[in-house]
């Protein structure tokens, strides 16, 4: 999904076959509000720092942050879909110029900054990375940790779309969720 002057269009898919439905206008407004808000800080993505589908590093003026995307959980690298999720996040970030908008929410138990992330494409449209990954089936809505996210309803709707389309992680709805996988390790 890409927002172009308040209208949502689809970002180009990388590895999965799907054609998700567009977000309703009230969801577009929520995304626009978060992206354009005064709490958005702009950083550069640290090259090679996208290790998995829900964590990356950014830097600005010598300050580096490890960022966990708010309200989502991507498959672990050793799980089915883990590498695809990571590569999809890389492809979404690559659609921008390396700059990434960070709306910080809190610090997690590992001292990572939990945030909503946005990328601006060369044509001026933007991608809300959190919801795009969920809508593309590359991550789950992590309901347990989405309450403090700026727009958890967007993640709920994104997951509904992914489920309806049976894309990515929803191609096999009984697959082990990342939080269950980590409990067994």
Give residue-wise pLDDT tens across range 102-116.
999 999 999 999 999
Confidence of residue 39 (pLDDT cuts 50, 70, 90): confident
Q: What is the DSSP letter of 51?
A: -
Cα separation, 8 vs 23, whole angstroms: 7
Confidence of residue 24 (pLDDT cuts 50, 70, 90): low
Which residues in 127-152 are b (16+ Cβ under 10 Å) and which e?
Answer: bbbbbbbbbbbbbbbbeebbeebbbb
Q: What is the dihedral of CA 75, 81, 86, 88, to 10 degrees?
A: -130
pLDDT given at position 44: 97
The predicted model scores a pTM of 0.82
Q: What is the dihedral of CA 19, 12, 25, 37, to 10 degrees?
A: 150
- pLDDT for residue 5 is more than 80: no
The CATH number corresponding to 2-183 among 3.30.420.40, 3.40.190.10, 2.40.50.90, 1.20.140.10 equals: 2.40.50.90
pLDDT given at position 129: 97
Cα separation, 19 vs 74, whole angstroms: 20
| Residue-averaged pLDDT of the chain | 85
Mind telling me the catalytic residues? 68, 76, 112
Q: What is the pLDDT of residues 55-64, one digit of tens each?
A: 999 999 999 9
pLDDT given at position 185: 79
Contact assessment for residue 94 and residue 35, using Cβ atoms and an 8 Å cutoff: no
Here the tokens at position 98 are 């390396």
């Amino acid at each position: 999904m890409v927002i172009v002057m308040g209208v949502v269009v689809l970002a180009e898919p990388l590895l999965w076959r799907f054609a998700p439905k567009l977000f309703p206008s009230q969801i577009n407004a929520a995304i626009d509000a978060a992206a354009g808000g005064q709490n958005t800080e702009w950083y550069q993505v640290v090259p090679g720092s996208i290790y998995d589908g829900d964590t990356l590093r950014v830097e600005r003026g010598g300050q580096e942050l490890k960022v966990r995307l708010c309200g989502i959980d991507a498959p672990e690298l050793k799980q089915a879909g883990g590498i695809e999720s990571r590569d999809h996040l890389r492809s979404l970030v690559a659609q921008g110029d390396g700059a990434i908008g960070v709306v910080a929410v809190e610090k997690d138990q590992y001292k990572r900054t939990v945030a909503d992330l946005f990328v601006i494409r060369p044509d001026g449209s933007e991608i809300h990375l959190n919801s795009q990954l969920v809508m593309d089936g590359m991550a789950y809505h992590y309901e347990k940790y989405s309450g403090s996210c700026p727009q958890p309803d967007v993640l709920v709707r994104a997951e509904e779309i992914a489920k309806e389309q049976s894309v990515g992680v929803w191609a096999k709805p009984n697959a082990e969720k990342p939080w269950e996988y980590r409990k067994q390790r």
